[in-house]
Amino acid sequence: MPTVDWNRRTWGGTHSWERDGDEWAHMASYCGQPYEEWKAGLVEELLVPGAVRGTSLEVGPGHGRWTEHLLERSDRVWIVDVNESCLERCRERFADRHGLNVHHTTGYSMEPVPDASVAFVWSFDVFVHLEPDVIVGYLGEAARVMEPGATAVIHHAGKPDWSLRLAPVNRRAGRPGRIAQRWLSQRRWRDDGNRSDVSPEAFARWAREAGLEVTGQRTSWGPDGRYTVDKYRDCVTELRKPS
């Protein structure tokens, strides 16, 4: 499972960031769609409706692939990341934009973000790599900073619940067990995309325990659901803080 330390080393060190995040075109090619259309559809259908008013907050902006679109629509945007180098790249890339607020977190704190001040929380390609305790921490923090009626869109791992119950048994079986576990949970023999052991059901349960409503869970968007996060069997959960 990817730890906070792994996330720090990978995105603050080994990853090349050659296109500031747009290098991740594999989800679009997996569903047979051009990357720019896949991305534009995601922005229009899932980011724009939430980002059109007040303050937005993004967890794990990386080099600002989605931050750019939040900044075009929200009065103020908080970005929260474990890597100072990612925040620095966003500061530099968006130096001429108003309303960017930056927080370097140690894991899941959003400490400087005031209570009930955020209208929209967005995170894509981040929670897929977060362990359950960090996700639970973030959902608690999201519930604190969201204003009543605020919404959130969070992309996370979507392994089937039943397959995760077999994980401890397969782990004990060494390499063959790990391969079997990948097949059961993601229908993949190799390359699990460093997804954490999280199911849609567990994510929804943790969100409800944090006091948030789950308004939807999906794996696709666009006409006929042609754009997907199916490559690694991910899920996108939509949340709302009760008024």
Ligand X SMILES: C[S@@+](CC[C@H](N)C(=O)[O-])C[C@H]1O[C@@H](n2cnc3c(N)ncnc32)[C@H](O)[C@@H]1O
Residues near ligand X (CB under 6 A) are: 4, 7, 11, 21, 59-62, 65-66, 80-83, 86, 105, 107-108, 124-126, 130, 134
Write b or e for each residue in 227-243: b if 16 or more Cβ atoms lie within 10 A of its Cβ, otherwise e.
bbbebbbbbbbbbbbee
Residue 142 DSSP class: H
Residue 13 DSSP class: I
Q: Give least dist CB 15 to ligand X, A.
A: 7
> Which residue, 7 or 56, is less far from ligand X as judged by CB?
7
> Which residue, 12 or 177, is less far from ligand X as judged by CB?
12
Q: Give least dist CB 51 to ligand X, A.
A: 15
> Which residue, 25 or 167, is less far from ligand X as judged by CB?
25
Contact 58, 66 (CB under 8 A): yes
Distance, CA of 51 to CA of 151 (rounded, Å) = 9
> Which residue, 11 or 163, is less far from ligand X as judged by CB?
11
Q: How far is CA 108 from each of CA 78, 92, 173, 194, rounded to the nearest angstrom? A: 14, 24, 33, 19
> Which residue, 107 or 140, is less far from ligand X as judged by CB?
107
Distance, CA of 59 to CA of 154 (rounded, Å) = 9
> Which residue, 105 or 163, is less far from ligand X as judged by CB?
105
Contact 90, 61 (CB under 8 A): yes
Q: Give least dist CB 128 to ligand X, A.
A: 8
Structure tokens, 122: 């967005």
**Gyration radius from the chain CA atoms:** 17
Q: Give least dist CB 111 to ligand X, A.
A: 13
Q: Give least dist CB 130 to ligand X, A.
A: 6
Q: Give least dist CB 165 to ligand X, A.
A: 25
Structure tokens, 194: 């460093």
